[in-house]
Structure 1
Amino acid sequence: MPKVRHWPATALALFAAAVALGLVAAHTTATRSTELAWNAHIRQLRAGWLNRAMLDVANLASPVAGLAILALITVFFLRRRDPVQAVATFLVIAVGWNSSEIVKLIVGRNRPPTAFSLAPETGSNSFPSGHTAFAFSLAVAMCLLAVRTRWFGLAVALGTLWTLLVGFGRLYIGAHYPLDIVGSVLVSTAAIVFLTGLWHGWIAGNLYRVPLLARFGPVPGPPLPVPETASVL
């Protein structure tokens, strides 16, 4: 997991920007007409085969599918006897994904009108998009796994395409506004940046305190005590 300089300030700034954007979008008219116009333009692209494809994409990033993917990735690394990587990847995806739920509660933005939705959803949980938060967090996790390998460029390209596809799909089926998608990326980035600081500052150095992990592979032990230097008389 990378080290991010000034991670508390960076994470706080991104989180504050996401919340501010959501509050403006939800409780003022500053962006409403523009976002509704974008949604209307995207609806004009609808066709039978594309409708089915976008609904399938939404299902791939749904909470049920997300939990299944998260479990599969964790089991994969545990079976490879790499519990540290299993925990790190699990946390990147889970923290980045579920951070969206916190902002949903703060912002309370209503869903788009259901009259034009392919999969009507109601409630005040539109901002940010949880599906997009999962897609982006999964993409970040895959890119981190590919750092310093020849697959990094491919991971970035596929991760970007995957995130854009899921975000576009949420607009296409009428479940979200455009700023909900932008907010997801901001919130998840803030959460993952914050996680990197906790990982290097506390989590990684305390994994040995979870005995179960050692059953799956090597886990770094506690730091060695610093020897006392003899005083010079």
Structure 2
Amino acid sequence: MPYVRHWLRNSILLFALAITLGMVAAHTHLIQPHDLRLDRTIQIHTRAEWLNHVMEGISYLASPVAGVIILAIWSGWLLFVRRRPTKAAATFLVVAVGWNSTQIAKAIVARPRPPREFMLDPEIGSNSFPSGHTAFTVAVVVAAYFLLRESRHRRTVLVCGVLAVLLVAFSRMYVGAHYPTDTFGSVLIAGSAITFVTGLWHVWLEPNLHRIPLMERFGLERERAELAAAQGDHAHGSVPRNRRRPGSPAASGGRHRRHAGR
């Protein structure tokens, strides 16, 4: 997981921006008419019987039930099959926190759903801002990029990920479950939560993974040794984390602790 400078400040600013957008959209007339007009334009000019099933299927793939299944399989594969407990924990946290952060925003903004008569499948939940489906997709894409950012597949993941987020966001407006600002707000909310997690990860979470017995059992030390060796190779002769000089910062995030309050 990369380290983001000024992670605390940036996460708070992103969250505040998203909440401000949601409050303006939900409780003023500056955005609401335009939101509803765009929703209706999409639904009137693009709906077709076959496309209804496609868009409902896409929405289901990012639904709470499917999301839990995807996250459990992905994290379990990294932990039990790949024996990468650090990557499994990081992936789980990025997706879970980025996704579920929307519940906080939903409770604060309390925006009603679009009119039910335009929905293909009426939603049970009452709060519209932000879109949990879109936030889940954003979190999955970011987690995948974090895993592959040092590989040759990073650009493919980035391009495909952006298209996936746009497709899920469109599907939520197509089926009538969300307004456009709901989907955009979910990107801000998920981004703020993930930024916060990256900082917390380096400051406290990752250095304390060894305290969990399950992590040691599935090869935590081996994974850390491989990571330290890889970092040493990339640094062209710099001191690896597991062979630091006396008096140098601690291997488990000393540099990050100095930036923790920034």
Instruction: Output the TM-score relative to the length of structure 1.
Output: 0.93
In structure 2, the partner of 1:51 is: 52
In structure 1, the partner of 2:205 is: 203
Opposite residue 152 of structure 1, the aligned amino acid is R
Query: Is 1:7 matched up with 2:18?
Result: no
Opposite residue 50 of structure 2, the aligned amino acid is W
In structure 2, relative to structure 1, the CA distance for the partners of 1:123 and 1:211 (3 Å cut) is: closer
In structure 2, the partner of 1:159 is: 161
Percent of residue pairs identical: 51
The CA deviation string for residues 70-127 of structure 1, in whole angstroms up to 9 with x for no partner, is: 0111111112111010000110100100000110001000000001110112554100
Q: Secondary structure at the match of 2:220?
A: coil
Q: Is the 8 A contact 1:92 1:195 kept in 2?
A: yes
In structure 2, the partner of 1:25 is: 25
In structure 2, the partner of 1:171 is: 173
Stretches of structure 2 lacking an aligned partner (at least 5 in a row): 226-241, 248-262
Q: Is the 8 A contact 1:114 1:122 kept in 2?
A: no
Stretches of structure 1 lacking an aligned partner (at least 5 in a row): 229-233
Opposite residue 76 of structure 2, the aligned amino acid is V
In structure 2, the partner of 1:68 is: 69
- CA-based RMSD: 1.7
The CA deviation string for residues 111-169 of structure 1, in whole angstroms up to 9 with x for no partner, is: 00001110112554100000000011001111111102110010001111111111000
Instruction: Output the TM-score relative to the length of structure 2.
Output: 0.83
Q: Is the 8 A contact 1:110 1:123 kept in 2?
A: no
C-alpha distance in 1 between matches for 2:63 and 2:218:
29
Q: Secondary structure at the match of 1:26?
A: helix
C-alpha distance in 1 between matches for 2:172 and 2:2:
30
Cα deviation for residue 29 of structure 1 reads 1.0
Moved over 3 A (4+): none
Cα deviation for residue 192 of structure 1 reads 0.3
In structure 2, the partner of 1:118 is: 120
Cα deviation for residue 217 of structure 1 reads 1.4
In structure 2, the partner of 1:231 is: none
C-alpha distance in 2 between matches for 1:51 and 1:148:
38
Q: Secondary structure at the match of 1:121?
A: coil
C-alpha distance in 1 between matches for 2:107 and 2:179:
17
Q: Secondary structure at the match of 1:100?
A: helix
